[in-house]
Structure 1
Amino acid sequence: MNHITIRKATFDDLETLYRFEQGVIEAERPFDKTLKNELIHYYDLEGMITASHIELLVADLEGELIGSGYARIEDAKPYLQHPKHGYLGFMYVDPNHRGKGVNMKIIQALKDWTRSQNITELRLDVYHDNISAIKAYEKIGFSKHMIEMRLGLGEE
């Protein structure tokens, strides 16, 4: 396999990052009927590039961006043992490069950055029915922790 470099995202990457964002949203639409059926955005990508508490990374394969992910330092609930934790998101790999360990490389770099911030725990959200994503995260070492439930009152 060609050499994949994991690096910090820059403003020059924005066009591709916006495309990746839409890829994430389209992948999640089947799992979330509450998403609007129009162009939506999850992330403030420009803000994420400059924020000191966020590490936004891209996977670069010989000048082509093929993946992304971020870690964000968050305050933990006051009743938890740790005062802060890292939250992972925007995990995306171009469909032509899936199954090559790209996501694992991004997560490893995000784990390293999070540790360098003296953070001892990572969290992420994944849709309950997204079995392939759950299996991929479990393979890396994540475990199921809590299920968020919803009741749409207009859907009865």
Structure 2
Amino acid sequence: MSAYRTVVVGTDGSESSLRAVARAGALAGACGATLVIACAYLPTEADDRELQRAQDVLGEEAYQVVGSSPAEETVRVAGERATAAGAGPVRTVAVVGSPVEALLDVVRREDADLLVVGNRGLTSIKGRLLGSVPADATRRSACDVLVVHTTG
């Protein structure tokens, strides 16, 4: 089996997701792979009802970036974290959409062979009942998925 060539990791700017970014950066650096850091965001004109509905259902799990400027800043900071962890070539991308759809779209576009996600949401009751980003991404990804333990 050959080493990974392209690794995709998602971030929402939370400390938990930045731990996954650091792990992905270290792994990509060790493999000599390109790291692609993605942040999904809602446009600033997103329907307030949509945002409130997500907050009502998911509570603290509903960490969604709103606006392209905050998303660009999120991936910039994540890129610095990944580089500090040992990543070689790093690309960043901010994508409009839900986190899972955005990540899977980036995986397809980049022809990635590894997707890295944090485990936030996997252990909560709401995450088990309603689905979570790591669970949904793992179930639907066409490439290998590494779930990093990022929460206590």
> Could you state the TM-score of these two structures normalised by the residue count of structure 2?
0.35
Compare CA radii of gyration and give the structure with the larger one.
Answer: 1
Higher share in helix = 2
Normalised to the residue count of structure 1, the TM-score between the two structures is 0.35
